[in-house]
Amino acid sequence: MENRWDDGRRFEGGLDECAYGSRLIGSDPSLVLHGGGNTSVKVPFVDITGEEIPALWVKGSGCDLASIQLAGFPPLRQHRLLDLLALRKLSDPEMMRELSAARLDPDSPQPSVESMLHAFLPYPAVQHSHADVIVTLTNLADGAAIVRKVFGDDVVVVPYVMPGFDLARAVRDLWPSQVNDQTVGMVLLNHGLFTFGSSTREAYDRHVDLITRAEDWLALNAPASVAADEPLGPVDPVTLAGLRHDVSRVAGIPLVMIRHSDRAVARFVKRPDLGSLAARGPLTPDHVIRTKRLAMVGRKVDEYAAAYAEYFADNESRGRVPLQMLDPAPRVVLDAELGMLTFGRTARDAQIAGDIYQRTIAVLERSEDFLGGYQALDAADLFDAEYWDLEQAKLRQTGKPTEFSGMVALVTGAASGIGRACAAELLARGAAVIGLDRSPEVVATFTAPGWRGLEVDVTDPAAQRAAISAGVEAFGGIDLVVAAAGIFGASQTVAELDPASWDSVMAVNVNAVANLFNESDPILRLSPAGGRVVVIASKNVPAPGRGAGAYSASKAAVTQLARVAALEWAEAGIRVNVVHPDAVFDTGLWTDELVAERAARYGLTPEEYRRRNLLKVEVTSDLVARTVAELCSDRFGATTGAQIPIDGGSERTI
């Protein structure tokens, strides 16, 4: 393992050093993934009177080590934690109440459930990770013996115990019989690695040393697998959308699905023992809340759900309070043709499941092929972790699901103007968004996990078809479609009409939308949320203007196409509505100079011209986008075939 400590860095005290070392640990995916691991330092807390109080500063629950700052470490009364550890028993609710009460700063985050363990360890600084190489050594039938072979007596070895009070007590009881002058760390079987020292730098150096020793031993005894020659190729998007539909149906909510088809996945899903490996369980118990206990092999979702219900029934009595079964849908699917598919309420959740299982694949193969076979915790222990309220609280910290969580939108013309505003609004409301535009800027228009921008000319049917397929591979399907790509074309009277200009306007404003509807049809029919389509047309449909024959005719044609689609798609539960914006001046069609020129023609100031409507309001792209999003929402669940003006009120259209 590379030691990434910057020797030239200076710190403003022990907590600053702890935060820096924590980020080094947290930013390495081979050590920690998505909020895992924890760290601490014991330095005094100075209260408002100037009194110094012995304190443990420990990572706050739910904080991410990769980005943690000083505020992410709640200070706790050290002596109070040791007093609690002297109790014979302490329930989880009691523990969390006491840990919360032990905070010296009530505005700081809730402390880690492993705070008492950190308090017990007799060292100023502690670092804890779930390093891949450590769980590779411990998730074996003879894991304890192998750990001793690799590290000798330099570490304390602790059998698996649920984190929290019970684990802290178990370590306290084992400590005297194993600790010695050479002790530099502690290995928790099926869990991870602790190192400690007089400073965070020393704890980090020891982390690097122990992990390097594990890497060297594995390199000699269990060489890493070689990836397949080629990643998996593309698959039918309708097949992917169908599987997403089935998994979402079992979950009872729409889920985003991400396809992983890289070389490591390609090799793994073609293994003859795939079914056996997928049934072994996660690397550490806390992964179960992201990946479920087992991955699903193949596509028989109902069979997986039935097996999950049986697993719940077998273990339900272990709960200390009445339990309600979580949804029985898989979060990881493995298939020889499709690769690895991961699911989540958001694109980020689905990616977290993917990141975790990518690491799992490497450990599974190494353990199975060279170390006598991978062996996770038994189902009962994993059930306790999955239904442990303190683990579920990690998920609840993300807050209430947003309006379009689990849904996937496709927006054309997404790099600018109304299309960009629609994409931004749908992202803000929780949708994953596939954005199409001919501008290369579409790729980086947004940086959210739920964004996939694709450079494509929508007038090229083959290119648009390929983009739709890529979008479905990215997020699993399409639930919402916003057809916003459009051009105005040259201003020409009927007598001046140029066939090439006419054709180019029709190609973007009508033909591309017709092709989009055709390609999206089978995917929209598989939407777990019911398809919702909005077409951006124009005020020129009910009130055309002089010199805008091609534009007006194209928008009238696409409006008629949308009405036909509303008739044909209704039986599938797909809604199609149209909005007619007018005078949206914050788009690429308008410049300040053009607005000033048009305003002068009417004897108005630019500001007056922008509000030249009955309500005297300025119509913006954001306003159009909010209306589009509302039409996609459940509040318009009984509306299809509607045409909504967004023009501030026009005498010509009224």
Q: Which residues are catalytic?
A: 551
What φ, ψ does residue 436 adopt, rounded to 5°? -110, 140
Q: In 3-state terms, what secondary structure has residue 579? A: strand
Q: Cα(618)–Cα(586) distance, rounded to whole angstroms?
A: 10
Run of H or E including 146? helix 143-151
Lay out the sheet containing 185-188: strands in order across: 75-77, 55-58, 38-42, 125-129, 192-197, 185-188, 155-158
Which DSSP category does 393 fall into?
H
Which DSSP category does 51 fall into?
-
Q: 269 CB contacts (<8 Å, ≥6 apart)?
A: 232, 334, 335, 336, 339, 340
Q: Cα(211)–Cα(192) distance, rounded to whole angstroms?
A: 11
Q: Are 366 and 286 in contact (CB under 8 A)?
A: no
Structure tokens of 401?
């699901």
Q: Cα(507)–Cα(514) distance, rounded to whole angstroms?
A: 10
- 505 burial type by CB count under 10 A (0-12 exposed, 13-18 middle, 19+ buried): buried
Q: Cα(247)–Cα(258) distance, rounded to whole angstroms?
A: 13
Q: Are 343 and 249 in contact (CB under 8 A)?
A: no
Using the structure block, give the residue that is written with the tokens 């030249």.
612
Q: Are 307 and 296 in contact (CB under 8 A)?
A: no
Q: Are 155 and 183 in contact (CB under 8 A)?
A: yes
CA angle 109, 111, 112 (to 5 degrees): 130
CB neighbours of residue 436 within 10 Å = 31
Run of H or E including 249? helix 237-251
Q: Tell me, rounded to whole angstroms, the distance of Cα 5 from its chain centroid.
A: 29
- 499 burial type by CB count under 10 A (0-12 exposed, 13-18 middle, 19+ buried): exposed
C-alpha distances in Å from residue 574, one per residue of 498, 537, 631? 37, 19, 12
Q: Cα(238)–Cα(445) distance, rounded to whole angstroms?
A: 27
CA angle 34, 37, 39 (to 5 degrees): 130
Q: Cα(484)–Cα(421) distance, rounded to whole angstroms?
A: 10
- 95 burial type by CB count under 10 A (0-12 exposed, 13-18 middle, 19+ buried): buried
Run of H or E including 582? none
Q: Are 118 and 40 in contact (CB under 8 A)?
A: yes
- 112 burial type by CB count under 10 A (0-12 exposed, 13-18 middle, 19+ buried): buried
